[in-house]
């Protein structure tokens, strides 16, 4: 995986070039993993995040706290207009797969995104103020919930949104029990320390199909195998209210859900206010604002009550 470039770099300061070579490459990370000084997180948790690229909390919120969020998510699914661009349906059916920009659609979910317990972790990891780059609810109903294939979020955010550096963190909040059987989030520990430069140029308006099933910006089998052999694969589980914070470049995915047990989560992406989006490194038109926020870079202010 050391072939020469076949196209010029999208930018002279693109330190994570992707979709520009004939063969995939594994590039070394050029950014810190934790940008803030020790404060809120215990030293052990800082070391775990540095080493693995994620932190899992089995009961971050109580069942009572999360029940109101679950009801709100269900309401969003039932009442959403499926032809709206924020609503993504499953390939081959009209089932709702994801609803984007939910912190702007729902005051309840907006308050959740600014909960002090979340903000304390985010602020320390990112080293200061953060804004929401993306928010969504993911639905994986029983029997027919489809998979999300392995990927690094940062690869897409960098190439298609213009996120310059690895200074973002995702927060996945389980609204239903997350078991080893119902298509849980899977992560490859340590994968955040390498960047998989993928092959294939980005089609125009790629997001229109990739949010249903991603085919470009997908890591190759050899790179995935190497990362998994080095770090293993973990699938954090827990009751409703469990939370996983994971680094923007951590390789992750989830299998389909053929059990009767639905899986549903709220997903927030926090980006540092010092890591604002530029023009996409693909040279293409930026993705729409409901997928990649480019208008509100104001740092979030915590609120006490969900």
Is residue 70 exposed (0-12), middle (13-18) or buried (19+ Cβ within 10 Å)? middle
Q: Which residues of the chain have pLDDT under 70?
A: 1-12, 203-216, 305-306
Residue 89 and residue 99: Cα distance in Å, rounded?
Answer: 9
- C-alpha 54/C-alpha 48 separation (Å) is 7
Report yes or no: 213 and 304 within 8 Å, Cβ to Cβ. Answer: no
At residue 270, what are phi and psi to the nearest 5 degrees? -105, 125
Going by C-alpha positions, the residue among 157, 137, 85 that lies closest to residue 267 is 137
* CB half-sphere exposure, 84, CA atoms < 13 A: 16
Domain parsing of the chain, residue ranges: 25-37+44-152+165-272
C-alpha span between 247 and 282 (Å, rounded): 22
Are 110 and 76 in contact, with CB atoms under 8 Å apart?
no
Q: Are 186 and 234 in contact (CB under 8 A)?
A: yes
Residue 264 to residue 177: CA distance in whole angstroms:
8
pTM: 0.91
Predicted local confidence at residue 4, as pLDDT: 29
Q: 178 in the Ramachandran plot: left (φ > 0), alpha (ψ -120 to 50) or beta?
A: beta
pLDDT at position 147 is 86
* Placement of tokens 């196209």 in the chain: 7
- pLDDT 10s digits, 120-131: 999 999 999 999
Instruction: Supply the pLDDT for residue 207.
Output: 55
**pLDDT at position 233, please?**
98
- Looking at residue 9, its pLDDT comes to 37
The CATH class for the domain spanning 25-37+44-152+165-272 reads mainly beta
SS3 90: coil
pLDDT for the residue 2 = 35
pLDDT at res. 66: 93
């Amino acid at each position: 995986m050391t072939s020469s470039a076949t196209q010029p770099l999208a930018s002279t300061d693109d330190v994570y070039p992707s979709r520009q070579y004939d063969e995939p490459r594994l590039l070394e990370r050029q950014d810190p993993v934790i940008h803030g000084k020790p404060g809120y997180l215990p030293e052990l948790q800082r070391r775990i995040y540095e080493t693995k690229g994620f932190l899992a909390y089995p009961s971050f919120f109580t069942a009572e706290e999360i029940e109101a969020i679950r009801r709100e998510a269900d309401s969003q699914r039932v009442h959403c207009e499926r032809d709206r661009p924020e609503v993504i349906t499953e390939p081959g059916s009209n089932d709702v797969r994801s609803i984007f920009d939910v912190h702007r659609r729902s005051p309840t979910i907006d308050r959740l995104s600014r909960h002090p317990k979340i903000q304390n972790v985010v602020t320390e990891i990112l080293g200061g103020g953060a804004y929401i780059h993306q928010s969504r609810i993911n639905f994986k109903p029983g029997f027919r919930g489809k998979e999300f294939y392995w990927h690094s979020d940062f690869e897409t955010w960098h190439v298609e949104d213009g996120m310059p550096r690895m200074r973002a963190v995702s927060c996945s909040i389980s609204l239903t029990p997350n078991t080893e059987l119902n298509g849980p989030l899977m992560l490859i520990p340590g994968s955040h320390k390498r960047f998989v430069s993928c092959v294939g140029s980005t089609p125009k308006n790629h997001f229109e199909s990739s949010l249903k099933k991603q085919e470009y910006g997908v890591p190759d089998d050899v790179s995935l195998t190497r990362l998994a052999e080095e770090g293993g694969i973990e699938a954090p589980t827990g009751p409703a209210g469990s939370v996983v914070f994971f680094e923007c470049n951590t390789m992750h995915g989830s299998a389909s859900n053929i059990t009767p047990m639905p899986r549903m989560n709220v997903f927030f992406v926090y980006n540092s206010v010092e890591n604002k989006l530029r023009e996409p490194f693909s040279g293409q038109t930026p993705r729409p604002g409901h997928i990649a926020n480019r208008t509100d870079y104001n740092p979030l202010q915590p609120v006490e009550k969900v």
